Amino acid sequence: MVAAGASRAVTVLGSTGSVGCSTIDLIEREPERFEVVAVTANTNAGLLADQARRVGAGFAAIADPAQYRTLSDALGGTGIECAAGAGALVEAAERQAEWVMAGIVGAAGLAPTLAAVRRGAIVALANKECLVCAGSLFIREVAASGATLLPVDSEHNAIYQVFASAAPETVEKIILTASGGPFRTASMNRIAGATPEQAVAHPNWDMGAKISVDSATMMNKGLELIEAHHLFGLPGERIEIVVHPQSIVHSMVAYIDGSVLAQLGTPDMRIPISYALAWPQRMSTPSERLDLCTIARLDFEAPDPVRFPALRLAREALGAGGAAPTVLNAANEEAVGQFLAGRIGFLEIARIVEAVLEEMAGLGISTLDDVREADRAARMHARAARTAPAGG
């Protein structure tokens, strides 16, 4: 663990994304505090090379081999090593950084995140999909290696900050807050005709496209329910979801004595990222400070099961166990990709996920190979389940 005053060796997986850029921003604000071992991207070689130069990274890895030349040209003469392909991402995660940000989006992040877990790193977990799809197998790997998992998702980070981990029996339930996304009060007609641009326009958070669509369907909260179950060891029945449109109370823990502890802050991912980056210390951030008198009110309401069927699907998948969460996640990733490409309508996302869950019901999982196979099959079924044209 990093001592006060010493620098921490860090790797940022998915450095070119929304979480990745916020992480790099914090690192650049206190350069003496961090030594960057590796950074990674999928296709954005230009930004990756720029980040690697700025933070003086030792290694830059890009998933898309077609981008290798662009990356190596851009890093020419810097002495920064670079490589391409899925193996290069795993290599980035395996390099000896004490701390690793898992900031890749989707199940594609599973292999590199596991590589960091397996060597016992401190893993700041933004990539909720890899925990949803591999669930208890992932948690078993964490326990076996002695890795430290620090939740970065703002809700789970909030819970982590107020959860009595030394006395979990005193926790009655977890209350996950949800903004409700851009369609919280929209008519079903408007939701049915939602375009990708409207769906990614989140009212409070500035995030990548996939998680923004997940927030609009509320599948994001469903994935977070499963994530919370694995991170904090509570059954789904003791994880409540409450819509809180201002996104100020990031989540709460209710105790057996009736106390409820919450973590609050302005909606800026640099707050939970900084918590993980400096852990177990804290560091300052430029985030806007919370002014409760200006905000004046905080609202809470129950989620609407008709507008947001994805929440029910996630609860059912968690209850069903086996491969169901893996299938839910993969079918959702595929359907969101189709929606963003304009091939299906917004409401088709949950319909496709439900159809694939039904088709693959009862499938078990006992190894990581089973996870990969269920993920592959669910994506295939989701492509086949595509039923309606865009806007339908």
**Which residues contribute to the site for ligand NDP (CB under 6 A)?**
14-20, 41-44, 63, 89, 103-105, 108, 126-129, 153, 205, 207-211, 269
> Which of 103/196 has CB closer to ligand NDP?
103
Q: Which residues pair with 251 in a beta bridge?
A: 176, 263
Decide if 372 contacts 329 (C-beta within 8 A): no
Residue 340: which of 204, 178, 206, 217 has the closest Cα? 217
Q: How far apart are CA 187 and CA 110, in angstroms?
A: 37
Q: How far apart are CA 175 and CA 250, in angstroms?
A: 9
CB of 228 to ligand NDP, least distance (A): 13
> Which of 40/148 has CB closer to ligand NDP?
40
CB of 379 to ligand NDP, least distance (A): 13
Chain-centroid distance of CA 287 in Å reads 20
> Which of 36/89 has CB closer to ligand NDP?
89
Decide if 231 contacts 128 (C-beta within 8 A): no
> Which of 2/116 has CB closer to ligand NDP?
116
Q: 124 vs 55, 254, 275, CA distance in Å? A: 19, 25, 10
In which region does residue 391 sit, left (phi positive, over 0), alpha (psi from -120 to 50) or beta (all else)?
A: left
CB of 194 to ligand NDP, least distance (A): 19
CB of 312 to ligand NDP, least distance (A): 20
> Which of 14/265 has CB closer to ligand NDP?
14
> Which of 71/194 has CB closer to ligand NDP?
71
CB of 4 to ligand NDP, least distance (A): 28
CB of 269 to ligand NDP, least distance (A): 4
Q: Is 43 exposed, middle or buried (0-12, 13-18, 19+ CB in 10 A)?
A: middle
CB of 388 to ligand NDP, least distance (A): 25
Which residue's CB comes closest to ligand NDP?
17
CB of 52 to ligand NDP, least distance (A): 13
Altogether, the residues listed in the chain come to a count of 392
In which region does residue 253 sit, left (phi positive, over 0), alpha (psi from -120 to 50) or beta (all else)?
A: beta
> Which of 2/100 has CB closer to ligand NDP?
100
CB of 187 to ligand NDP, least distance (A): 27
Q: Is 284 exposed, middle or buried (0-12, 13-18, 19+ CB in 10 A)?
A: exposed
Q: Which single residue is written with the structure tokens 């620098």?
A: 7
What is the SS3 assignment for 170? Answer: helix
> Which of 192/209 has CB closer to ligand NDP?
209
Residue 127: which of 146, 143, 147, 112 has the closest Cα? 112
> Which of 268/354 has CB closer to ligand NDP?
268
Residue 18: which of 226, 189, 210 has the closest Cα? 210
